[in-house]
């Protein structure tokens, strides 16, 4: 299955939900990603398909269709995947069995409200870039 348009390996793998582009670049440095059995040496590898790509020896499945999820982030939860201080993150409170999801934007630790999540790194990027002009509305309530 070809994407038709040649793209960097990190972008293709991020789109397939393997990891973020930066994480994929580290995985390439660690020789965890191979093409037809040969470890990749550079994240600059250009491909049109994920055919023949393995991560940790396991074949990579093609990217799934883009999906957008809405999530009500509660107060006292971080919008991050891992917290070095061990605080709860959105991934601790999301239902189990969901695909790998990335938050679009973020809400602060002591903030609650709607948070959009997606399985598509490119969609996330497009919605976060100020140049795309996606409007954002915030409503705040203060006490005291």
Domain containing 114: what range? 68-132
pLDDT of residue 1: 47
Which of 31-45, 67-81, 106-120, 124-138 has the least mean pLDDT?
Answer: 124-138
* 44 and 100, same domain (yes or no): no
pLDDT of residue 34: 97
* 49 and 76, same domain (yes or no): no
Name, in order, each residue with C-beta under 8 angstroms of 7's C-beta and a sequence gap of 6 or more: 46, 47, 48
Name, in order, each residue with C-beta under 8 angstroms of 109's C-beta and a sequence gap of 6 or more: 76, 77, 78, 87
* 73 and 124, same domain (yes or no): yes
Total domain count, the chain: 2
- Residue 102 confidence (pLDDT) above 50: yes
Residue 80 lies in a domain: yes
* Active site residue ranges: 108
Residue 1 lies in a domain: no
Residue 85 lies in a domain: yes
> Within a 10 A sphere around the Cβ of 22, how many other Cβ atoms?
11
β 38-39/33-35 pair status: antiparallel
For 27-67, the pLDDT digits (tens) are 999 999 999 999 999 999 999 999 999 999 999 988 778 89
């Amino acid at each position: 299955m070809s994407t038709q348009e040649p793209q960097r390996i990190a972008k293709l793998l991020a789109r397939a939900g393997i990891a973020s582009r930066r994480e994929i670049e580290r995985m390439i440095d660690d020789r965890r990603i191979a093409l037809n059995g040969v470890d990749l040496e550079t994240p600059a590898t250009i491909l049109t398909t994920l055919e023949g790509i393995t991560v940790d020896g396991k074949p990579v499945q093609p990217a799934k269709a883009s999906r957008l999820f809405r999530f009500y982030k509660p107060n006292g939860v971080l919008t991050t995947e891992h917290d070095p201080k061990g605080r709860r993150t959105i991934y601790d409170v999301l239902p189990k069995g969901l695909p790998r999801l990335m938050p679009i934007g973020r809400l602060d630790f002591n903030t609650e409200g709607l948070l959009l999540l997606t399985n598509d790194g490119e969609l996330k990027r497009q919605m976060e870039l100020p140049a795309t002009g996606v409007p954002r509305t915030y409503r705040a309530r203060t006490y005291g």
